[in-house]
Amino acid sequence: MASVNSLASTLQQQLADALTAALPDAGTADPLLRRSDRADFQANGILALAKKLKGNPRELAAQVTGALPDTDLIKDIEVSGPGFLNITLSDRAIIETLAARAADGDRLGVPYNSAAGTTVIDYAQPNVAKEMHVGHLRSAVIGDAMVQILEFTGESVVRRHHIGDWGTQFGMLIQYLIEHPGELSHEGGQADGEAAMSSLNRLYKASRVLFDSDEEFKARSRDRVVALQAGEPETLAMWQRFVDESKIYFYSVFDKLDMQISDPDIVGESGYNDMLEETCRILEETGVAVRSEGALCVFFDDVKGPDGNPTPLIVKKTNGGYGYAATDLSAIRDRVQNLKADTLLYVVDARQSLHFKMVFETARRAGWLNEDVKAHQLAFGTVLGKDGKPFKTREGVTIRLQDLLDEAVERATAVVREKAEKVGLSEQEIVENGRYVGIGAVKYADLSTSAVRDYKFDLDQMVSLHGDTSVYLQYAYARIRSILRKAGDAKPVAHPELELAPAERALGLHLDQFGEVLSEVAAGYEPHKLAAYLYQLASHLTTFYDQCQVLSDENPAEVVENRLFLVELTSRTLHRGMALLGIRTPERL
């Protein structure tokens, strides 16, 4: 594992050293390096230094260029305007840096920080005995991508799926199951996900009808809630049946999403029951929470209701029941004190931002969060239909996630089938690739949008071969694999001595940015920036493919080998980047 400094970072360091050497009175100075249309890079920092030193910026720029070391990094440097430096890198430096990345296997020279901390990511939060709908999509997809990205950069990641598995509704469900014991039984043993959800739906509807119409059943159900909270064995056993049945369904949906979810990662609301009273006691004894009209509350100066009065975070209700805040605060205690987390990342709907703002501030006041242990909500927006309204059926019903994924795969399979004969795909490959393309399309549409923004769910656009879609990227990858298969005896070999065409340079410079982009994505929890990078990479590849024929008898062998090297490294970068977003890249499409 050998990390590779990017061309930009190497150039940045050389410029910074030259600034210090040429202008010692300037102290530590930033050359303000950025990409440029006029050259490969432009450094603008000398202008600010000239004002500080009361000197001529162009003369100072000439001094800095004279202090640069004589290496193979820079091909040309020109002083432009009021002391800007336009810098063109050498073709040799580009290819040698890319060759170092290629030699680093699957990591592609991306740094791995083995001293990084521990992040607990709370994502994919379905509810027991309820169907997952389109609203659950973003939490699962964004959270899974951040898990992959953070782990790749060296962070120790603990997954947590905070499922809704507790509450008063379980009294009704458990009581009905006790009185109708065969309702969750399945012929031939364990059910598949669809059958499990069908049983749960049927039981929920039947119990709700009885609860609303039969006062005696309603009373028995309320008694059952008390028994559940008291840990009565029969009641707990029935509750566990609902949890287990729901997991069969959850896992079937996550399997469709091509996501790995395991039992140890699932710690629902019930997992913190034993901590709730102690959490409340600590908050009250430390004065963080106070009694108000019988409830245990935390108040904030900047959180007020429409009437202008303070709106508190209710930790314990007047009737002695615990609010969501008590569970969330107990989860923070567990994750910090037992899991030793440095960072808590919550992938949660933006509409819950106020709740989490108050929870995090409460945890800070209690000392569970501090300068060394931080919590962050990766807030996400709403999935909208083509009409720009929340995505629902014509009848106004929230769309089932499973139905949405099935339709995406169906549409994608039709797209794959259109091209299948030309490529020579078998029926098995068509079905498999249809799944990869369909699920990839759904994930990419989500991940290519800044998480906090709403986005329109448009399957026609998602499975399009054109534009900013995962299908475009998957076909770019498959095209390269086809080129490499057709290369015969010609192998990818880097040739630093060659002069590069403009499209080769552009592709090479973009390839070199992969590690920097991942670092930025991991630091800011912004997977859409990785999606944007990969789309730009595929666009550079398209331009390269149009302008620089790879396999041609008219090209010298070293040109063919160098171009094969560039496309092969592009394919590996696409493959790795898409995998970090949770998207497969088929070898043939």
Confidence bin at 190 (pLDDT 50/70/90)? low
Rounded to an integer, the average pLDDT of 476-481 is 96
- The one-letter amino acid code at 242 reads F
- For residue 50, pLDDT over 90 is answered with no
Confidence bin at 419 (pLDDT 50/70/90)? confident
Angle, helix 193-213 to helix 233-256, in steps of 10 degrees: 130
Separation CA 175–CA 232 (nearest Å): 13
C-alpha torsion sign, points 553, 558, 559, 563: positive
Lowest mean pLDDT among 103-112, 351-360, 465-474: 465-474
Confidence bin at 186 (pLDDT 50/70/90)? low
Q: What are the tokens at 99?
A: 């060759």
Q: What are the tokens at 150?
A: 């953070």
pLDDT for residue 28: 74
Three-state DSSP class for residue 317: coil
- Placement of tokens 């060759």 in the chain: 99
What are the Cα distances from residue 20, in Å, to 7, 23, 34, 121? Answer: 20, 5, 19, 42
pLDDT for residue 283: 98
Antiparallel, parallel or unpaired: β 374-380 and 343-349:
parallel
Is the separation of the CB atoms in 193 and 265 below 8 Å?
no
pLDDT for residue 1: 63
- For residue 187, pLDDT over 80 is answered with no
- For residue 578, pLDDT over 80 is answered with yes
Rounded to an integer, the average pLDDT of 252-280 is 95
Looking at the chain, the whole-number percentage of residues with pLDDT higher than 90 is: 74
pLDDT for residue 60: 87
Rounded to an integer, the average pLDDT of 412-421 is 91
Phi and psi, residue 182, nearest 5°: -90, 0
pLDDT for residue 138: 95
Confidence bin at 465 (pLDDT 50/70/90)? confident
Looking at the chain, the whole-number percentage of residues with pLDDT higher than 70 is: 98
pLDDT in tens, 422-464: 889 999 999 999 999 999 999 999 999 999 999 888 888 888 8
What are the Cα distances from residue 297, in Å, to 222, 280, 293, 377? Answer: 26, 10, 9, 22
The DSSP H or E segment spanning 547 is helix 527-547
The runs of H, that is alpha helices, within 276-323 are: 276-285
Rounded to an integer, the average pLDDT of 142-160 is 97
pLDDT for residue 188: 53
Three-state DSSP class for residue 389: coil
Lowest mean pLDDT among 150-154, 295-299, 320-324, 570-574: 320-324
pLDDT for residue 307: 76
Which one is predicted more confidently, 463 or 547?
A: 547
Confidence bin at 534 (pLDDT 50/70/90)? very high
pLDDT for residue 387: 82
Measuring CA to CA, which residue among 272, 260, 270, 264 is closest to residue 335?
272
List the beta strands (DSSP E) in 142-241.
Answer: 156-160
DSSP string, 60-111: HHHHHHHHS---SSEEEEEEETTTEEEEEE-HHHHHHHHHHHHTTGGGTT--
Separation CA 261–CA 558 (nearest Å): 47
pLDDT for residue 575: 98
Rounded to an integer, the average pLDDT of 527-532 is 98
The DSSP H or E segment spanning 34 is strand 33-35
Lowest mean pLDDT among 19-23, 217-221, 247-251, 347-351: 19-23
pLDDT for residue 319: 85
- For residue 355, pLDDT over 70 is answered with yes
Is the separation of the CB atoms in 80 and 38 below 8 Å?
yes
- The overall average pLDDT reported for the chain is 92
Lowest mean pLDDT among 427-441, 459-473, 551-565: 459-473
A 10 A CB-CB count for 95 gives 22
In degrees, to the nearest 5, what angle opens at C-alpha 232 toward C-alphas 174 and 225? 45
Lowest mean pLDDT among 102-116, 314-328, 452-466, 484-498: 452-466
